[in-house]
Chain A
Amino acid sequence: MKARVLVTGMGGELGTRVAQLIEAREWATDIVGVDFVPPRRRLRRAEFRRIDPRDADRLSSFVADYAPQVVAHFGVYEPASRMTPASARERTDSCTAATMNAAASTGALEYVVIRSGLEVYGPPTGRVSVPDEDAVPAPTTPYGRSLLAVEAAAKGVALRCGIPVGALRYAPVVGSHVPSPLGRLLRLPVVPVSAVSDPPFSLLHPDDAAHAMVAAIERRLDGPCNIVGEGAATPWQAARLGGRVPLPVPPGLWRLVARATEVAGAALAPHVVDLLRHGCTGDASRARDALGLTRPTPTQDVLRELFDWADVVAIARAGEQAA
């Protein structure tokens, strides 16, 4: 297998990690990434092209010229992580449409894998609390609907080109270097939790997310696949694990709490409220069988890593270091 690889969203933590992993693979003859911000680490083989996804014409012509054989689509932006919800939706829509249409039109495309999320299933009010990939998606938040639209666009490419398309439905990816509204919220001194329930949620370590993406490319995963860390935690427990104070919030007050957390520096997106109120987990047995993801990092270890991250890292001056 030899392939020219395009990584959209390479400027994000996951996009950069995936590019680093692909660089070490011999089958990747060329690796090119696009995003509106530069990669987060030094890349040795991969090339980066700074293109804002909102500039659809420029992105389309670049992708068409490059004619990728494999597309790893990380150009899916989470609301309130690095940008406002409106901007995230606009960039996601534009990046997905431009990349998919241009890549499909070249005739060289062999495989597409996209980043999706458990948010596509919606809250577990329909009594399915640990959905597998056969569960009917019913997103109730803007982010969930946005992810489902990305999946639909990728399915369109699969039909048009007759190629396999994988959709990795990630549990919320949280880590010390991953900008995430959930991570920011859990690191506040006081963490809002539901007053009427304490539902379980699962998290995913960024390394597992990146490895799953590369495994999907190598094994040509077709269809959706939940990528979920082992075990779960509850919002109350997560707050206590970090030494934070859980604040029980009655059902009618979440909008007020969202205002307060935004002022405190952690904007509360609707999909994060859903997670705190209803939980968010998924059945990861397909990832185990199809991608060999046998021992993903446990959710509570992901949380510990998040809380172990120092707020401020003091760097000693040159003179002090010498002393």
Chain B
Amino acid sequence: MTLDVLDADRIARPETPWSALRRRVSGRYPIDPFGLDPQLADLCVPLFRAAVRVRVAGGEHVPSTGAAVIVSNRGFGIAEPAALGVAVQRASGRRLRVVGAPDLPFLGTATRRLGAISSSGPDVASALRAGHLVGIPLAPTWLRTGAGDAPVAVARALTLTPIVPAAVRAVGRLGSIVGAWEVTFGPMVTLPDPYDPNDPLAAARFTEAMRRAVGALLDGG
């Protein structure tokens, strides 16, 4: 049954409209505990790919299986997470669970259906324990220069999983939502010396290392 084939982690080829519609009406589609609707998300993939043109560099750094965090810079809009999601799909075929689903009627439900999760530390930790690839945007930098601060709420969730830095840059003339983007992934962020994963200080050092790694990718471009 197709119901079992749809995967919360990997993008699948969209179904035919008739088959998709029949399953929507009969309720036969999967939902994950965070609210992701893989069937709906797969149907939207071609739209995102057409709307957000992305060039990818360093795609080999994106893990093909298992839990990992991708940390990226952010301007002020929603375009960066969308560009990052498309880049991850292109590099690994995986779905990116972007942190920051708004706690609002309709909009919250809609973003969760497409794979977003809330920005609370426990939810990020749960998603990582479930083996998802989680995208964490750094704090906004209004002028799009450099990397913002790492979100403190999720810091404790990050010490047990690989962290991949990513730089998202607008390469179009205006860098608008429908413009072209370049996404560069860097090598995994590590600490130079051994650390205790439960140590809050280690979490703080990780967040700083993340910010520096993303900044270095942005400067390198």
The residues of A with any CB-CB pair to B shorter than 8 Å are 124-132, 134-135, 196-200, 202, 228, 231-234, 236-242, 279, 281-283, 285, 300
- From known contacts A128-B118, A130-B122, A241-B27, infer whether A232 and B130 are also in contact, taking CB-CB under 8 Å: no
Contact status A197-B34, CB under 8 Å: no
Contact status B35-A129, CB under 8 Å: yes
Q: How many residues of B contact A (CB 8 A)?
A: 28
One of A130, A200, A238, A279 near B126 (C-beta < 8 A): A130
Q: Enumerate chain B residues within 8 angstroms of A129, measured Cβ to Cβ.
A: 33-35, 117-118, 120, 123
- From known contacts A196-B105, A202-B33, A241-B27, infer whether A285 and B130 are also in contact, taking CB-CB under 8 Å: yes
Q: 1/0 per residue B1-45: CB within 8 Å of A? A: 001000000000000000000000111111111110000000000
Nearest A-chain residue to B125, judged by Cβ: A132
One of A128, A197, A279 near B120 (C-beta < 8 A): A128
Contact status B28-A200, CB under 8 Å: no
Contact status A131-B122, CB under 8 Å: yes
> What is the bound-complex CA distance between A206 and B129, given in angstroms?
25
B92 interface hit (Cβ, 8 Å): no
Contact status A199-B30, CB under 8 Å: no
Q: Enumerate chain B residues within 8 angstroms of A231, measured Cβ to Cβ.
A: 30-33
Contact status A197-B109, CB under 8 Å: yes
Contact status B27-A239, CB under 8 Å: yes
Contact status A128-B123, CB under 8 Å: yes
Contact status B26-A240, CB under 8 Å: yes
Kindly identify, within residues 68 to 122 of chain B, every residue whose CB is under 8 Å from any CB belonging to chain A: 103, 105-106, 108-109, 117-120, 122
Given contacts A237-B31, A242-B27, 17 further A-B contacts (CB under 8 A): A124-B118, A126-B120, A127-B103, A129-B123, A131-B126, A132-B129, A197-B106, A200-B31, A202-B33, A231-B32, A232-B31, A232-B33, A240-B27, A241-B28, A282-B33, A283-B33, A285-B130
Q: Enumerate chain B residues within 8 angstroms of A236, measured Cβ to Cβ.
A: 27
The residues of B with any CB-CB pair to A shorter than 8 Å are 3, 25-35, 103, 105-106, 108-109, 117-120, 122-123, 125-127, 129-130
The A interface, classified by DSSP as helix, strand, loop or mixed, is loop
Residue of B25, B33, B119, B129 with most partner-chain A CB within 10 A:
B33
Nearest A-chain residue to B128, judged by Cβ: A285
CB distance from A130 to the nearest CB of B (A): 4
One of A131, A198, A239, A282 near B109 (C-beta < 8 A): A198
One of B105, B123, B130 near A127 (C-beta < 8 A): B123
Contact status B129-A283, CB under 8 Å: yes
Q: What are 7 pairs between A and B in contact, CB < 8 Å?
A: A127-B103, A129-B120, A197-B105, A283-B33, A285-B129, A285-B130, A300-B30
> What is the bound-complex CA distance between A237 and B123, given in angstroms?
23
Nearest B-chain residue to A171, judged by Cβ: B33
> What is the bound-complex CA distance between A199 and B35, given in angstroms?
7
- From known contacts A240-B27, A300-B30, infer whether A200 and B35 are also in contact, taking CB-CB under 8 Å: yes
One of A128, A202, A241 near B122 (C-beta < 8 A): A128
CB distance from A184 to the nearest CB of B (A): 19
Contact status B122-A134, CB under 8 Å: yes
CB distance from B114 to the nearest CB of A (A): 14
Q: Enumerate chain A residues within 8 angstroms of B27, measured Cβ to Cβ.
A: 233, 236-242
CB distance from B88 to the nearest CB of A (A): 21
> What is the bound-complex CA distance between A313 and B108, given in angstroms?
43
Q: Enumerate chain B residues within 8 angstroms of A199, measured Cβ to Cβ.
A: 35, 109
